[in-house]
Each structure stands twice: as C-alpha cells, then as structure tokens.
Amino acid sequence: MTAFDADRPWRLHPQVAVRPESFGALLYHFGTRKLSFLKDRTLLDVVRALGDHASVREAIEAQGVPAASTAPYVGAVRTLADSNMIQERDA
C-alpha cells in the first residue's frame, strides 16, 4: 500500500462504486466488501474529481474549498486511502 501524500495524484479505486445520497454518498468496495460513508457533498465532489487533478489538494481547491479549510478534507481523503477506496495513480 502506498503512503498517503496529498500532493500526489489519486483516483477512485476501480472496484469502488459510488452511490450519491442526500447526506453525501455511500462508497462500496467490491474487492474488500468495505462500505464508507461520505457525510458531505463537497467531499463527494472532491472524490469524484481526484482523477482529473494532479493532487488531492488541487481536487479540493477545484471544489471551491478555501485554503484555510482544507485540513478536514485532506484527512477524510487520507482515511479513504487507508481503507483502499482510493489509490495513487501515475502523474
């Protein structure tokens, strides 16, 4: 498993399905059978945008999150990396 680095490119794991909900979303990993809850629509937008940006920080910024407010989003994305819901990708 790759150590999490918010300045590197990441993407949703190909075995993860995203189901949007009114509170955010459910993520289900078909390989590990893990379920994750995203309790924030902005976080859902960040996760969906990961593959389009050169880093987690850029994906967060692209969703309009002010620089002073990024720490919780970086932490949430780190948790998704730790649970293999997202994976590092080539730059």
For 42-87, the pLDDT digits (tens) are 999 999 999 999 999 999 999 999 999 999 999 999 999 999 999 9
CA 41, 45, 46, 47 torsion-angle sign: positive
Domains in the chain, number: 1
Which of 72, 85, 18, 75 is CA-nearest to residue 45? Answer: 18
Is the residue at 63 inside a domain? yes
**14-to-23, 44, 75 alpha-carbon distances in Å:** 23, 16, 21
pTM for the whole structure: 0.92
Domain range enclosing 78: 40-88
Is the residue at 27 inside a domain? no
Is the residue at 66 inside a domain? yes
- CB 60 within 8 Å of CB 74: yes
Q: What are phi and psi of 52, to 5 degrees?
A: -100, 0
